[in-house]
Amino acid sequence: MDIRLIAVLSEVGLHESRAKQISRIRIDLENKWDEDI
C-alpha cells in the first residue's frame, strides 16, 4: 500500500472516532438535562 494512502486512512479513522466521542458526550449531556428537569 502507498504510505500516503495509509496516512489518509488513519486520519479519517481519527476523525470518525472523535465524531463518535463527541456524539456520545452530547447524548450523555442530553440525558443529564432530562434528569434535572
How many angstroms separate the CA atoms of 35 and 37, rounded?
6
Distance from chain centroid for Cα 20: 3
Taking only the tens place, the pLDDT of each residue in 3-16 is 999 999 999 999 89
Residue 35's pLDDT is 77
Average of pLDDT values for 17-26?
A: 94
How many angstroms separate the CA atoms of 9 and 25, rounded?
24
How many angstroms separate the CA atoms of 28 and 34, rounded?
10
For residue 23, pLDDT beyond 80? yes
In the numeric block, which cell numbers belong to residue 29? 449531556
For residue 31, pLDDT beyond 70? yes
Cell 466521542 belongs to 21
pTM tops 0.95, yes or no: no
Average of pLDDT values for 24-35?
A: 90
